[in-house]
Amino acid sequence: MSKWPLNKVYFWEHAPFFRLLLPLMAGILLYEIVSSELITGLLAAIAVPIYILTTFYRKRHTYLDLTNNIALQIILISAGWAITYTNDIRQDKNWFGYNLEQADVFAVKLTAAPAEKEKTWKLSVDVLAANKKGVSKAATGKAFVYVYKNGDSLPCKEGDVILIPNKWQTIHSAGNPFEFDYAQYCAWNNIYYQQFIGSNELILYQKAAARSIPWVRRLHNWCLHQLDIYIPDRSTAGLIEAMLIGEEANLDQELRQAYSETGIIHIIAISGSHITMFFIFISFLLSWIRHKKYNWIRFLLALPLVWIYVLMAGASPSAVRAALMFSILSVGFALQKTPNTLNQLFATAFVLLCVQPMWLHAVGFQLSFVAVLSLILFYKPLHKLITPPNAILRTLWQAAAVSVAAEVLVAPLVIYYFHIFPPLFVIANIAAYVFMGAVLLSGMAIILFCWLSPLASALSAFTIFIVTVFHKLVYIMQEMTPQAFRFLQLKHFELLLLYVAITALALLLLKQWKRAIYIGLAALCLLFASFCINEWQALHQQILVVYNIGKTNQVELINGKRYTVINSDTVVNLEKKNYTLKPAHSGFHARKRDEHYLPHNAFMIGRKRVLLLHGIPANSRPFPVDYLIINDAKASPAIATRLQQQFRPTKIIIGSNFSRKQAADWVNTCKTLHIPIHATGSDGALILKNI
C-alpha cells in the first residue's frame, strides 16, 4: 500500500501571523513615503472585491490562488497605512498646531510630574484649549514645555491645568552627524512643538484633585514615594525606580553608560524578564495552590496584576509586549493548549502595531521583539550542545545559552543604534540576571512591607549593599571593554546584509539547507567589501564639524581616522560626549584624538578657506575667507560690518554657545547686511567635507 503523500510545511504555516505581520509593517512604513489617501484607498477598493471573488470561486487554480494572496497582501498593507493615518495627530482637525496663529493663551494639563533639568523644568503636557481674547476653543495634542528655573520650586504638579503663552516652537533635530534624531522620535510620538518660558509666564489655572489623577498613576507615585523614603542612596534609588516602576528621571547617566557598554542595559527597561520575576513573586504569594490541576488559577489571578503593574510602570513598548505575550500564554495554559511561542510572538507584535503603529520605529520595541525571536529560534539548539554533569553547571550553562541565543539577533541592532558590542556580554548577563532577580524581589518586598519600618529598612540596607557590589563589578567589566568595540558603525544596507548572513548560517546549521551557504557567503562578501570602502573613505577624509550642543561650542577637524578639537573655550560633559560626539566619531571612523596636530585659526577644507575667530579682530589688511566661525560668545552683532569688510565671508557661523537672544540679534543683523549666516543653535550643526 502506497504512503499518503506529504507536503512540505513551511514555518509560516506553523506561525500564520507572520504572513499578516509583514504586510502590516510594510503599510506602516509606507505611510512615511505616501501621504495620499486617494492612492491607498484606490488600491484597497480594487483589492477587496478581487480577494472576495477569488476566495469564493469554486474552481481552484495556481494563478487564482496567487491573485488571492496578492490581493490579501494589498489589503493588509492598506490597513497598516490606514491605522497609521488615524494614529497621526495631524489628521485631527482640533490639533493645536492648526491654531497657533489664532490663539494667545493655551490651557494645558500636566501628564507627568515635572522633570528637573540643569536649567529648566520639563513639563509633558496635553493641550486642552486655545484662547483668543477670551474666546476659548477646544484643542488637542501633546507637547513639551520648558520652564526656566528662578530658584523657587515649580508651583504645579501632575494633573494640574496651567495657562501658558503662545510661544510654541517646532521641535528640530540638532543636526549633529550620526546623532539620534530627536525630532523624528518626537514626531513618531505625535509631539511636534515645544516652548521655553519663565516661571512668571505660567499661571496655575486648576489644581488637580487627588481623585482626578488615574489610580495607576497614583499607585506609581505612591511606590516611588516609598522607595525614596527607605532607600537613602540616590544612585541605588534611581536604579531601583527605573528597574521596578519604570521611572528613569533619577537614573545616573554615568551608570546608564556603564550598563550599555557591558551589554546589560536591557535589565533597566521593564520587559519579559521583569514580568517573569513579577509572576514568580505572585506565584509565591499563591503558593497555597499546590495541585497541578489548578495551576491555571495562578495564571488567571496573575493576569490582571501583571497588567496593573505594566500600566503603573508607564506601559513602555517592551513592557506591553511582554504583558500581552504573557496574557496569550496564560490563556493557553488556562485552556490546556500547547503554546506555539513563535506564532504568539508574531500575534503579539501584530496586535501591538494595530493599536500603536508608531511603535514599529521604537528602538525598545525592536530590541524586545528581536530578543524574544532570537531566544525562540536559537536557545534550544544551543542548550542541547552541552550537558553539564551537575545542577550548578547546568544552571550556569542555561543562563549562558540564554545570553548567547538572545545576542545572535540583538547584537546587530545594538551596533546599529548604540555603536557598541560588549565582548563580555555572557559573563555580564549571567551576573545581571542574578542581580536583577535579587533587586526586583527586594524592591517589591520594600514596597510590600513599607508599613513595617524595621523590616523595610533592613531590606533597603541589603539592596544598597548588593547594588554597590554589582556596580563595582560593572565598572570593572566596562574598563575591560576595548575602545575599538565602543566605536562601531553599521549602515542600513550593512545591517540588512548582516541579518541575511545570520539567517543563512542558521538555515545551514539548524535545517541543513546547503544552498544557504552560498547566500551567506555572498552577503558576507558584500559586507566586507562595504567595510573596505568605508575604511578607504575614512583614511582620505577631511571634515570640519561645528556641533550643535546646548550652550557649548565644539569645533572639530577630522583628518583621516583622527579628530582634533580646534577650540578650547568650553568643556563638553560626559553625557553630551556620549550623546553627540561619540556617534560622530563612530560614524566617521575617527575615534582617536590627534594629540600632536597643532590647529591653526585658518585652514582649508577642500577648496574652502575657513577661519575660526576667537575675539574681536584688529584692523588689518583684508583676508577673504569662505566660512567665518565666531567662537567668542561675547561678540556683538555690531562688528558684523567690520567682519564683512575685512573677511568678505561667504557665510558666517555662530556656535551654540550663543544665547537664543544673541543668536537672534546676529541673524537679524546679518540679514540686514545681506550676509548669509548659519546659527547652529537654530539651523543645526555645520558639516564641511573635502568634496
Q: Tell whether 532 and 453 lie within a shared domain.
A: no
Residue 6, in any domain of the structure: no
Residue 403, in any domain of the structure: yes
Report residue 690's pLDDT band, with 50, 70 and 90 as the boundaries: confident
Residue 300, in any domain of the structure: yes
Give the domain CATH number at 104: 2.40.50
pLDDT tens digits, 86-101: 999 998 999 999 888 8
Q: Tell whether 631 and 655 lie within a shared domain.
A: yes
Please report the pLDDT score of residue 5 as a whole number: 46
Q: Tell whether 370 and 315 lie within a shared domain.
A: yes
Top-confidence residue, 620 or 587: 587
Top-confidence residue, 111 or 322: 111
| 55 backbone φψ class: left, alpha, beta (φ>0; ψ -120 to 50) | alpha
Report residue 26's pLDDT band, with 50, 70 and 90 as the boundaries: very high
Give 619-626's long-range contacts (Cβ < 8 A, gap of 24+). 619/646, 620/646, 622/646, 622/647, 622/648, 623/647, 624/648, 624/649, 625/649, 625/650, 626/650, 626/651
Pinpoint the alpha helices (H) of 449-560: 453-480, 492-511, 516-539
Top-confidence residue, 265 or 664: 664
Residue 111, in any domain of the structure: yes
18-27, 145-154, 496-505: the lowest-pLDDT one = 145-154
pLDDT at position 6 over 50:
no
Top-confidence residue, 302 or 296: 302
Q: Tell whether 185 and 226 lie within a shared domain.
A: no
Give 615-622's long-range contacts (Cβ < 8 A, gap of 24+). 617/642, 617/643, 617/646, 617/647, 619/646, 620/646, 622/646, 622/647, 622/648
pLDDT tens digits, 234-264: 888 888 888 888 777 777 778 888 888 888 8
Q: Tell whether 169 and 276 lie within a shared domain.
A: no
Q: Tell whether 506 and 441 lie within a shared domain.
A: no
Q: Tell whether 246 and 364 lie within a shared domain.
A: yes
Report residue 4's pLDDT band, with 50, 70 and 90 as the boundaries: very low
Mean pLDDT of 488-517: 90
**How distant, in Å, are the alpha carbons of 181, 356, 543 from that of 361?**
12, 10, 30
> Among candidates 143, 280, 614, 223, which has minimal Cα distance to 448?
223
- Considering the chain, what percentage of its residues have pLDDT values greater than 90? 19
Mean pLDDT of 197-209: 87
Instruction: Single out the residue in 41, 62, 87 at which a domain terminates.
Output: 87
pLDDT tens digits, 309-319: 887 777 776 77
| Three-state DSSP class for residue 131 | strand
pLDDT tens digits, 381-439: 888 888 888 888 888 888 888 888 888 998 999 899 888 888 888 888 888 888 888 88
46-60, 93-107, 150-164, 562-576: the lowest-pLDDT one = 562-576
Q: Tell whether 223 and 342 lie within a shared domain.
A: yes
Please report the pLDDT score of residue 658 as a whole number: 85
Q: Tell whether 109 and 57 lie within a shared domain.
A: no
* Residues with Cβ within 8 Å of residue 453, at least 6 apart in sequence: none
Residue 194, in any domain of the structure: yes
pLDDT tens digits, 507-560: 888 888 888 899 999 999 999 999 999 999 999 999 999 998 877 888 888 988
Domain count, the chain: 5
For residues 353 and 356, what is the distance between their CA atoms, to the nearest angstrom? 5
Residue 57, in any domain of the structure: yes
Instruction: Single out the residue in 87, 106, 141 at which a domain terminates.
Output: 87
Give residue 279's domain range.
215-482
Top-confidence residue, 450 or 497: 497
Please report the pLDDT score of residue 292 as a whole number: 63
Please report the pLDDT score of residue 597 as a whole number: 64
Q: Tell whether 406 and 553 lie within a shared domain.
A: no
Instruction: Single out the residue in 87, 106, 132 at which a domain terminates.
Output: 87
Please report the pLDDT score of residue 599 as a whole number: 61
Residue 449, in any domain of the structure: yes
Please report the pLDDT score of residue 440 as a whole number: 82
Q: Tell whether 242 and 166 lie within a shared domain.
A: no
Mean pLDDT of 495-501: 94
Report residue 63's pLDDT band, with 50, 70 and 90 as the boundaries: confident
Mean pLDDT of the chain, nearest integer = 84
Q: Tell whether 326 and 235 lie within a shared domain.
A: yes
40-49, 216-225, 269-278, 441-450: the lowest-pLDDT one = 269-278
Residue 349, in any domain of the structure: yes
